[in-house]
Amino acid sequence: AACSVMPLRTLALTLLLNPAVGQRALVYLLPPALVGGAVAWWLSLDRHAPRASRPSMPSNPLRFVIALQMVLAFQAELYVDDWVQRTFGASGLLSSAIVVGLTDVDALTYSMVQLGGAQTLPETAAQALAVGVASNTLFKCGIALGIGRPGFRGVAAAGLLAIGAATVAALVLFR
């Protein structure tokens, strides 16, 4: 379910934090958001599937060390993306979005919102967001296929491939 809303969450945050980048990201992130919504709806129709037990709550809900690690990761991402953009231009930024998007779309979102403030970068930042979302989605698909349980593997892979395909298609069609 979290993967289904990731493109929509990324789009909403981008529109809120940097409308210029968000408006350009609409064409790249709305298609996978719609596909993700359709996948979530389709999965909700399967009423006969056994329900998973609720995970236990963490002992410390604030998780200060993890929060501190995320802050450091965000800051490092800002420096790296700035350096990559200055050194390699748009192609470098899109390449770094593939790598960063594998694990941390939130850091990528924040970084692209910041870099997209320049007059020439909103389109590149929007494309980098879509590249990162596609990278993250396809990485999760690989994890589901590699270590997912048999009953989960096929369903998860199909949904994630649909979302990933919608993102890639939007990049190809609207770039």
Q: What was the pLDDT predicted at 47?
A: 56
Q: Which two tokens stand for residue 70?
A: 């995320």
How far is 53 from 74, CA to CA, in rounded Å?
33
Q: Is 48 helix (H, G, I), strand (E, B) or coil?
A: coil
Residues 6+ apart with CB under 8 A from 80: 96
Q: What was the pLDDT predicted at 9?
A: 92
Q: What is the DSSP letter of 148?
A: S
How far is 175 from 157, CA to CA, in rounded Å?
26
User: pLDDT digits over 89-122, tens only?
Assistant: 777 888 889 988 888 888 889 888 887 776 658 9
List the single range of 21-35, 97-111, 131-145 with lowest mean pLDDT.
Answer: 97-111
Q: What was the pLDDT predicted at 133?
A: 96
